[in-house]
Amino acid sequence: MKHWFSYRGFRIRLFKRYLLRNWGLGLSVPFLIVLGFYHFVVTYPYFRNFHEWKEWTVYIQPVLVSLFAIGLSTVFSFGVIRRSELKDGFFMRRKKMEMLARYMFSNNIIERKEVKTEKGKREKLSFPKAYYRSLGDRDIFTFATGNKFHNQVISLGKTLSEMYLADLTKINWEMGYISYEFLMNNEGKRINFEQVIAENGKITLMQGVVWEYDKLPHMLIVGGTGGGKTYFIYSLLYALTKEGRVHLADPKKADLAEFSNFKAFKGLVCHEKSDIISMMEEAEQLMDKRYLYMKRQKNYTIGKNYRYYNMKPEFVVIDELAAFVSTLKGMEYEKFFSYVIPLVLKARQAGVFLIFATQRPDVDTLPGAVRDNLMCRVTAGRVSPTGYDMAFPDSKDKAFVNKDIVGRGYIDIGSGIPIEFFSPLVSKNFDFVDYFQKLPSMPFTDVTDIELTVEAKQEVNEFYDEIEDFEADFVDNVKTEIIQEQVKKKEENINKLMAKANVPVSYREKLNKES
């Protein structure tokens, strides 16, 4: 149905390149008014009757008051704007308009017109018609077509998706305009608890978000109290216990300690410091034994992982890692990480995977050699800026937004690009205790018959030397493949949306060649 008037949103104009700066100055005005009033009431009367202008000490108070007021106004303005950005509020929308204005200016999407003045001629600059509109979890960017920037604006879908780290969901092409609609909130991709499936070395965590642990091993989960971290771990256990065997450690004797009462987890749960260290030692030994098991198979092939030999994976989950590490003293700390480091570096092919959960992933909790090799990173709930920097060290320029939604956070499945994430939704009627109590024995590959003799250990070490370079190259290649696959999916999605919007085939082919 056609309307007399269509509201397209806020018009993007040249001055919006400095929108946040201008708003910052605007928020400072009340402080400047108070400062002016102070100088009018106090400073001006004093200097009006003062004649010793060379006495420098008389300037100290007015200068200090001015500096204090300006500094306070700057901190206040920055704080208000930054807080709004982190809450995805008013100033985040202004930031998006500013980003678009800067993009258009830097890419010369500008109309130039000569106008006559009393002094001659001058060039007047303006943007062609472009609009931004926010509709809750959706953002719509609209551009005028049929002008000299026609070819540029009809190919902006991919660029805008990358700029705003959002999913393009719809392209609407009408006479004179093209609109791009983006999903800025991934909550619509959230899956139910029962839909979390682990199979063939992959686990589905959200629609379109799959962690391939066989290729990009080990996970780091960061989340504070009440953020949904525990329920996310439950979701992982729900799926992983069907795929292989899970070992649990809960140093705080909290949520995971209860699993020691469940038949399926008998002998696989610990919470005492010495037991957790022993668990990691056994995990390293398990890795060695599994490699020996693989090497002794008739069909042994260099480069093939545990799955090639029909082996089941092993998962080691430690909750509240920071609390545990803080209790380690001297040699205990060295001993614990002497088991962890070989596992994060070498355990992928053997099918032994680590999952660490913590409230703070600082250097003391996770040394760089460990954290850098935890390929999948997840946050749940509210996390401090420092926490985001530690969880996603390669994405310090990204604006991470905290929202009061349980289970919401960010995830990087190994590509180096964190995206908004919503952990699986758990029904209020679902009883975890009842489910895990009834859980049958977890599948596993028995390697207890293999002895780690001196000769066997030497054989394993030689094997590690063989695969060391292969492992590093393998992970790097997988990262590249995942990034390329994500780009391909985005391009395919854009092509589908453009076809749906009746964009001419000639344009689509041209855009594909340019990209």
Q: Which residues are registered as beta bridge partners of 183?
A: 138, 167
The distance of Cα 33 from the centroid of its chain, to the nearest Å, equals: 42
Rg (alpha carbons) of the chain, rounded to whole number: 30
CA pair distance 387, 360, nearest whole angstrom: 6
- Are 463 and 295 in contact by the 8 Å Cβ rule? The answer is yes
3-class SS of residue 71: helix
Q: Which residues are registered as beta bridge partners of 222?
A: 358, 379
Residue 250 sits at φ, ψ, to 5 deg, of -135, 90
Task: Tell me the residue type at 165.
Answer: L
Residue 223 is labelled as binding a ligand: yes
3-class SS of residue 263: helix
CA pair distance 450, 456, nearest whole angstrom: 9
Tokens 């190259």: give the residue: 473
CA-CA-CA-CA torsion for 363, 369, 372, 376, nearest 10 degrees?
-90
Query: In the numeric block, which tokens belong to residue 46?
Result: 């004093």
Nearest Cα residue to 23 out of 73, 60, 57: 73
Write the DSSP string, 197-225: -EETTEEEEETTEEE-TTTS--EEEEE-T
- Are 131 and 8 in contact by the 8 Å Cβ rule? The answer is yes
Residue 333 sits at φ, ψ, to 5 deg, of -60, -50
Nearest Cα residue to 47 out of 62, 69, 32, 67: 62
- Are 54 and 136 in contact by the 8 Å Cβ rule? The answer is no
CA pair distance 22, 488, nearest whole angstrom: 39
Tokens 């609609």: give the residue: 181
Residue 188 is labelled as binding a ligand: no
Task: Tell me the residue type at 58.
Answer: V
Nearest Cα residue to 264 out of 76, 39, 25, 435: 435
CA pair distance 129, 115, nearest whole angstrom: 20
Q: Which residues are registered as beta bridge partners of 220?
A: 356, 377
* C-alpha triplet 486, 489, 494: angle, nearest 5°: 125
CA pair distance 186, 164, nearest whole angstrom: 13
Residue 358 is labelled as binding a ligand: no
What would you measure as the largest C-alpha separation in the chain, in angstroms?
103
CA pair distance 255, 249, nearest whole angstrom: 10
Residue 228 is labelled as binding a ligand: yes
273: Cβ–Cβ under 8 A, 6 or more apart, which residues? 251, 324, 327, 328, 332
Residue 244 is labelled as binding a ligand: no
Residue 225 is labelled as binding a ligand: yes
State the binding site. Answer: 223-230
State the binding site for ATP. Answer: 223-230
